[in-house]
Structure 1
């Protein structure tokens, strides 16, 4: 009996090469999203999404929109941010064929320009809830929703 339980557990935990590949590709997609935002590389940002993607960062004071509208918003929202470093972790993926869902923790320190040569570092954290689809170009985000937003040391009166 003990052998059967061990054998069942091993089979339940074994991923196929395709499943491993899909998971690695999706994780790299999520990393590319973070670098695109931090580098303000809006072409790379556009490339992580499907053309009809929906982005919702209303929890952080942002907007719900398509990709191009979001790029325009982000350019303004990040204009006072001198540097940001999105760090994602604890990626929970559920892959079902050509679709996947992800819940991803993000911690992000930001340096804001307060004017008159003054800067302040603040921290924010949130979860991304992503829907991801396989396209001919590879995995792409079709929906990104931010939730669970918190901040520490946010400058008084600061908004994105």
Structure 2
């Protein structure tokens, strides 16, 4: 079925939002996340051993954990977006290699489960959760934290 110009535009804006999140985290530009999430977003990163909370909590957590890594790349792909007017839901694959400062690489495979809303400033993520697919070469404490969230 043909998609309307509005639907195509909405999908591209949401896809850009997913990429903007990846760039913000990988570049450690925490303030940029304010343009990705709503001010009252609910974010749950516990499936990969992280925390759950509002945006300020998530930004502090990410800043604290990312300092252990020399580099990271959040590759997002295969998004399944369901539009419903000014809201949308999505499931997006993420492959995330994280390079420890010593050079060892940990791989995390996950899906982001998102609820998006259209705001006066454009589309934003209002809710985000993770669904873990796999860890490879992860420290035991990371795997332990993630398994406690199940």
Out of 121, 124, 128, the position equivalent to 1:137 is 121
Once the two structures are TM-superposed, the CA of residue 81 in structure 1 deviates from its matched residue by 1.1
Indicate the RMSD between aligned Cα atoms, in angstroms: 1.5
Match in the other structure for 2:135? 151
Tell me the SS of whatever aligns to 1:131.
strand
Q: Is the 8 A contact 1:120 1:155 kept in 2?
A: no
Gaps of at least 5 residues in structure 1 are 1-12
Aligned residue pairs total 144
> Which structure has the higher relative contact order (CA within 8 Å, separation 6+)?
2
Q: Is the 8 A contact 1:38 1:86 kept in 2?
A: yes
Gaps of at least 5 residues in structure 2 are 146-150
Once the two structures are TM-superposed, the CA of residue 69 in structure 1 deviates from its matched residue by 1.0
Q: Give the TM-score normalised by structure 1.
A: 0.85
Out of 73, 78, 102, the position equivalent to 1:90 is 78
